[in-house]
Amino acid sequence: MYSWLPPRQRLIVRAALATAWWLVTLGGIASIVVNDPSNILGDVFGAAVVATSGVAGAGAAWNRFRWEWIAAWFAAASLTPFVLMSVAASYRNIQALPGTILLAALAASFCARALLCAAHAAKLREQHEATRGDAGDV
Amino acid sequence: MFDWSPVWTFAGVIVVGLFGTGGIVAWRRLQHDKKIGVQTTEIAEDDAEAKRWQSIIETQTKVLLEPMQRRLGELETTVAELQASLDRRNRQYWAAISYIRTLLMWIHRFMPDELEQTAPQPPVTINEDV
C-alpha cells in the first residue's frame, strides 16, 4: 500500500497511522469507563469502537491493509452514535459544536481510510488480472 | 450519557447502516479477492522480495550484460581497424592501377617495332580497372 515510499518513511507513516487508530481505541475505552452502567447501548458502541479501531490500528502497524479496510468501515459505523449524540448536545449547548464537527471529521477520515484501502484492493485486483492475462497469452 | 430522541435514533440507524453496509461490501470483496488469489501486498512493498529481485538483476547484469558490453567494445575496435586497413588498401590499389596504366602507355610509346607488340594481359580481376 505504501510501495511508493522509501522503506524508512513507510515505517514512519504506518507507525503514525497505528498511533492514530489506537488513540481512537483509547477514546472507546474511556467512553466505556465514564459511561453510565445502565446505558447498555453506550457500552456496546464503545466496545465496537475499541474493537474496530484496535483491528484497524493492527492492520496499519503490521501492513495488513485488508484488516484496516474492513475495520475502518465498522469503526465509522460505531463512531456514528457518538457523532449524533454530540450533534444533539450541540442543539442544547452551542459550546459542544466544535467537538461535534471534529468528531464528524474523525468519522469522515475513517471513511477516507476505508476508501483508500478499497482503492488499493482494486489496484491489486487489476494487477492480478493483468498477470493472469499475461500468463494466458504465453 | 446517551440522550436518544426518535429523530436521532432514525438518523443513527441510517448512518450506521450506511457505514455497516460499506463494511459488509468490503468484506464480500475481500472474500472474492481471497478466492481468486489476489496478493495482499505489492512486490515493491515486500522488502525481502524487493532485495531478491535486486540481487537477481545484479547477477544478470554481471553475468550477461557486462561480458556482452566488453565483447561489443572489442568488436567495435576490430571493425574500426579493419575499416582503416581497407581504406589504406583501396588507396594503394588505385595508385597501383594508375601506375600500371602509365607504364603500359610508356611501353607502347617507347617499345621498338621489331619486338613483339602484344603486352601480357592483366589478370581478370583487375582487367577492367586497368
Could you report the predicted ipTM of this complex, rounded to two decimals? 0.75
SS3 B41: coil
Q: Least CB-CB distance to A66: which of B11, B40, B42?
A: B40
Determine the pLDDT at residue B45.
64
Please state, in angstroms and rounded to a whole number, the distance separating the CA atoms of residues A45 and B60. Answer: 57
Contact between A136 and A17 under an 8 Å Cβ cutoff? The reply is: no
SS3 A6: coil
A1-41 per-position pLDDT tens digit? 777 778 788 889 999 999 999 999 999 999 999 988 777 88
Chain centroid, CA A37 distance in Å: 26
Residue from B3, B14, B38, B51 to probe the interface with A (highest A Cβ count within 10 Å): B38
**Closest Cα in chain A to B11:** A84
Chain centroid, CA A106 distance in Å: 9
Q: Least CB-CB distance to B39: which of A36, A70, A124?
A: A124
Q: How confident is the model at residue B85 (pLDDT cuts 50, 70, 90)?
A: very high
Contact between A121 and A65 under an 8 Å Cβ cutoff? The reply is: yes
Residue from A4, A5, A14, A80 to probe the interface with B (highest B Cβ count within 10 Å): A80
Q: What are the two backbone dihedrals, phi and then psi, of residue A72, each rounded to the nearest 5 degrees?
A: -65, -40
Please state, in angstroms and rounded to a whole number, the distance separating the CA atoms of residues A19 and A57. Answer: 7
Q: Least CB-CB distance to A84: which of B12, B18, B37?
A: B12
More confident residue, B60 or A57: A57
The answer to whether A85 contacts B29, with C-beta atoms less than 8 Å apart, is: no
Cell of A84: 449524533
* pLDDT over 80 (residue A77): yes
Alpha helices per DSSP H over B37-65: 47-60
H/E element holding A10? helix A7-34
* pLDDT over 90 (residue B119): no
B15-38 per-position pLDDT tens digit? 889 999 999 999 998 888 888 888
Least Cα separation, residue A36 to chain B (angstroms): 6
Q: What is the pTM of this model?
A: 0.64
